[in-house]
Amino acid sequence: MSSTPDVVSRDTSSIISPPLPDPLPAFDRPLKLGILASGNGSNMEAIAQAIRSGQLQAQIQVVIYNNPQAYVARRAQRWDIPSVLLNHRNFASREALDEQIIQTLQAYEVDWVIMAGWMRRVTEVLIGAFPQRVLNIHPSLLPSFPGIRAAEQALKAGAKVAGCTVHYVELEVDSGPIVMQAAVPVLPGDTADTLQARIQQQEHRIYPAAIALAAVPPP
């Protein structure tokens, strides 16, 4: 899909491409999602809320987290979603971790892998087990500012526009075909924290829609 934002959202503070479909696509059965998260879990909760409201026809089968202190585990508990800790420090390699992730996802009959603040590089092991069914959200308008501290990167570069991107996951960090993007203006006086907070608001809007669009079978 196009990576150039072209549609102004209803609140006029962001630009989303492609436009948010209303309603979202429907499926023969709910999409079975497995969430990978390392931290706060706000995107996981936004997806759960979209499901509860009937916006997204899906169910979260399991949340896998790698940080024992990750707040996402508490969010999952509140939503009565199973959660599994796979501490990456307990695995000899990234491939070994991904093998265990796959076993867990398969045990919960997951169709789509949704990375929501997953701070670990994945390997061909995971990508190969779920071809074209692993999505990630990144807080920049890719291909600009991949990697960590994207909002800080944007400010240092003097960018006038920042945003977020949902994309298919490939081996190269923050690469892969783009599903949906949202752009937000960089305001005078912005800090990395204030800019990131506005970007995150748009992440919560576009991720459920991007999941639905990605799951639509090709014509």
Catalytic positions, please? 138
Type of residue numbered 23: P
- Residue 206 in contact with residue 166, Cβ under 8 Å? yes
Please compute Rg for the chain using Cα positions: 17
* Per-residue three-class SS string for the chain: CCCCCCEECCCCCCEEECCCCCCCCCCCCCEEEEEEECCCCHHHHHHHHHHHCCCCCEEEEEEEECCCCCCHHHHHHHCCCCEEECCHHHCCCHHHHHHHHHHHHHHCCCCEEEECCCCCCCCHHHHHHCCCCEEEEECCCCCCCCCCCHHHHHHHCCCCEEEEEEEECCCCCCCCCEEEEEEEECCCCCCHHHHHHHHHHHHHHHHHHHHHHHHCCCC
Please report how the helices 192-215 and 42-52 are oriented relative to each other, as an axis angle in degrees rounded to 10. Answer: 40
CA 173 to CA 164: how far, in whole Å?
15
